[in-house]
Amino acid sequence: MGLREAVGRFVFDGAVVGLGGQNIGRCAMATVHEIIRQGKRDLTLVGCNLSISMDLLVGADLVRRCEGGSGNLERFGSTFCWRRKVQSGEIEMEDFSHLGMVSRFLAGEMGLPFMPTKSLLGSDILVHKAPSTVKKYEIIENPWNPGEAVVLLPALNPDVSIIHVQKSDSMGNVIIGGFTTHEPEMVRASRNTIVTCEEIIESRQIRSDPERTTLPHIYISAVVHQPWGAHPTSTYRYYDFDAEHLRFYQECARAGGEQVKAYLDRFVFGSESFQDYLEKVGGKERLLQLEKAMKRLCASKGENP
């Protein structure tokens, strides 16, 4: 299945979309581009740290609501499209903490209606909620320690999650390298998951070392081979983030309006595929620099390839 077909089949208007990656690492950018090209709208985006993948979808006016722990690109600044539209009230943001969000995915993956947490207590995260939220949380008393408050958070089961990973076989047995953030819980909680990957490996390789598999195929709806699919964010052991392009995107996003439109026109709508986009951001030469930068980082630490 190609990315076009996968997005066509599993992402729909109004869907709750789980975003993999975090900050400047392993955001599923190729799939985000395809969602924008297909104009899937009224999306609710969920994740822990919502980063450039979220901001681009918000910039393309496809988002109604976000639920997450944070929106930012750390040292590269805010997620500016998101910030602007939250400030203007054009989109709503439902705030949790990162542990709160992963707890909600944990409930979702375990088939439970809610998950307790001891975070959030006493904070304004429990005081305020987004306009369309019906019931953000419940506080109950710990039955084993009367008088002690415990927060319950509702399970979150995305309609579809999108993640970019290092390796998968064609069945969808996925290997994530480096940090996995909230992805294992989010994916197992999702009704469908679209995976893009740097490499398709043989199932034989998966089955000869099954402890290594991060997510088995039963959770995966589509696997698409898309090298560099996280650009301009990094993929651990494959390539570093592209600071230059990130800065360029941030300039556009901060300016907003025409500049965001121009970015989208040039890089997303103006590209037939993610391959086209990669050519536009510098092609082979630029990509090899990013690859080298990562290899250098890994080699200097004597890491396995």
Question: Where on the chain is the footprint of a second copy (CB under 8 A)?
Answer: 107, 111-118, 135, 138, 140, 142-145, 148, 150, 152, 154, 176-178, 204, 208-209, 211-212, 301-304
Neighbours of 278 (CB within 10 A): 20
- Closest CB 235 distance from a second copy, rounded Å: 14
Q: Is the CB of residue 214 less than 8 Å from the CB of residue 203?
A: no
Neighbours of 25 (CB within 10 A): 20
Our CB check for a second copy shows the closer of 39 and 116 to be: 116
Distance CA 213, CA 78 (A): 34
- Closest CB 51 distance from another protein, rounded Å: 8
Question: End-to-end alpha-carbon separation of the chain, Å?
Answer: 28
Residue 144 partner contact from another protein, a second copy, none using kind-dependent CB cut-offs of 5 to 8 Å: a second copy
b/e sequence 76-102, b meaning 16+ C-beta within 10 Å: bebbbbbbbbbeeeebbbbbbbbbbbb
- CA distances in angstroms from 245 to 24, 251, 290, listed in the order given: 12, 10, 12
Residue 300 partner contact from another protein, a second copy, none using kind-dependent CB cut-offs of 5 to 8 Å: another protein
- Closest CB 251 distance from another protein, rounded Å: 18
Tell me, what DSSP letter sits at residue 78?
B
- Closest CB 107 distance from a second copy, rounded Å: 8
Residue 78 partner contact from a second copy, another protein, none using kind-dependent CB cut-offs of 5 to 8 Å: another protein
Q: Which helix (H) or strand (E) holds 154?
A: strand 149-154
Angle, alpha carbons 139-143-149 (nearest 5°): 30
Rg (CA), the chain: 19
Q: Which helix (H) or strand (E) holds 254?
A: helix 243-255
Our CB check for a second copy shows the closer of 140 and 262 to be: 140
Residue 100 partner contact from another protein, a second copy, none using kind-dependent CB cut-offs of 5 to 8 Å: another protein
Residue 55, φ and ψ in degrees, nearest 5: -65, -35
- Closest CB 111 distance from a second copy, rounded Å: 6
Distance CA 149, CA 137 (A): 12
Our CB check for another protein shows the closer of 79 and 271 to be: 79
Residue 140 partner contact from another protein, a second copy, none using kind-dependent CB cut-offs of 5 to 8 Å: a second copy
Tokens (6 digits) for 78? 């805010």
Residue 173 partner contact from another protein, a second copy, none using kind-dependent CB cut-offs of 5 to 8 Å: another protein
Our CB check for a second copy shows the closer of 87 and 304 to be: 304
- Closest CB 114 distance from a second copy, rounded Å: 6
Our CB check for a second copy shows the closer of 212 and 247 to be: 212
Our CB check for a second copy shows the closer of 90 and 141 to be: 141
Residue 138 partner contact from another protein, a second copy, none using kind-dependent CB cut-offs of 5 to 8 Å: a second copy
- Closest CB 133 distance from another protein, rounded Å: 12
Our CB check for another protein shows the closer of 134 and 300 to be: 300
